[in-house]
A and B are shown apart, each in its own frame.
Chain A
Amino acid sequence: AQSVTQPDIHITVSEGASLELRCNYSYGATPYLFWYVQSPGQGLQLLLKYFSGDTLVQGIKGFEAEFKRSQSSFNLRKPSVHWSDAAEYFCAVAGNSGGYQKVTFGIGTKLQVIP
């Protein structure tokens, strides 16, 4: 069964500081990996995705993530955090089951940004 672990439930960083959100996954084959962001009461917005190829993927809003198969990790990074980045971040893993995605989300990491 596929699963995702986000070990940090809550992270606080200063505006302008760098950010790394951790994600570890469990999946039997090559995983499809995603990072989504959710503002309070809103839907999910895709930040970036990894399907195959280059293990360092670039996303929107200046985010990037690195796939490390040996560590089963897909950590999200941003060099300089902005106050508007405060939100909930979900790492997710999916398998392709006959053409549709069965997505499993991690528990989420809530990011707080302080001035």
Chain B
Amino acid sequence: DTEVTQTPKHLVMGMTNKKSLKCEQHMGHRAMYWYKQKAKKPPELMFVYSYEKLSINESVPSRFSPECPNSSLLNLHLHALQPEDSALYLCASSPKSLTGGTEAFFGQGTRLTVV
């Protein structure tokens, strides 16, 4: 299994709603990532988890709340979002390597629309 699975594929939510994005991998990777990609732009890193602990938060607003309940699962909890938060949210994972390069495996993304 070399897949990163994201659910849902599409999500429409109101500005007062609370919703969650889910990401799952069973490759034994211990680093997991959330990226945000606006239309016609490259992906931008939001969060990095390493061994289930938050390692990087790229100054993301608190209305985005990540959670890594176990080594296979990564969630992104959403609350009080703004229309400008509409984007493709990509999850990725990579094997942990202290000495060499590793590659990130990306999921298909969740297309989020905030209305």
Contacts and interface: CB of A to CB of B under 8 A. Distances in A.
B96 A99 contact: yes
Nearest to A90: B42
B101 interface: yes
A98 B100 contact: no
B98 A96 contact: yes
Top 6 A-B pairs, shortest CB-CB distance: A51-B101, A105-B42, A100-B31, A32-B101, A44-B106, A43-B108
Interface residues of B, number: 34
Contacts, number: 81
Contacts of B33: 100-101
A94 interface: yes
A46 B31 contact: no
Contact of B97 (A41, A96, A102, A106): A96
B82 interface: no
A36 B42 CA distance: 11
Contact of A34 (B4, B48, B99, B103): B103
A51 B55 CA distance: 23
Contact of A100 (B44, B50, B105, B106): B50
A102 B48 contact: yes
B92 to A, nearest CB: 8
A109 to B, nearest CB: 11
Nearest to B4: A43
B50 A49 contact: no
A43 B107 contact: yes
Nearest to B58: A102
Q: Which of A36, A42, A43, A52 has the most CB of B within 10 A?
A: A43
B59 to A, nearest CB: 14
A37 to B, nearest CB: 11
23 contacts: A32-B101, A41-B88, A42-B108, A43-B90, A44-B92, A46-B104, A51-B100, A52-B100, A90-B43, A94-B104, A96-B100, A98-B98, A99-B96, A99-B97, A99-B98, A101-B103, A101-B104, A102-B48, A102-B56, A103-B104, A105-B43, A105-B44, A107-B41
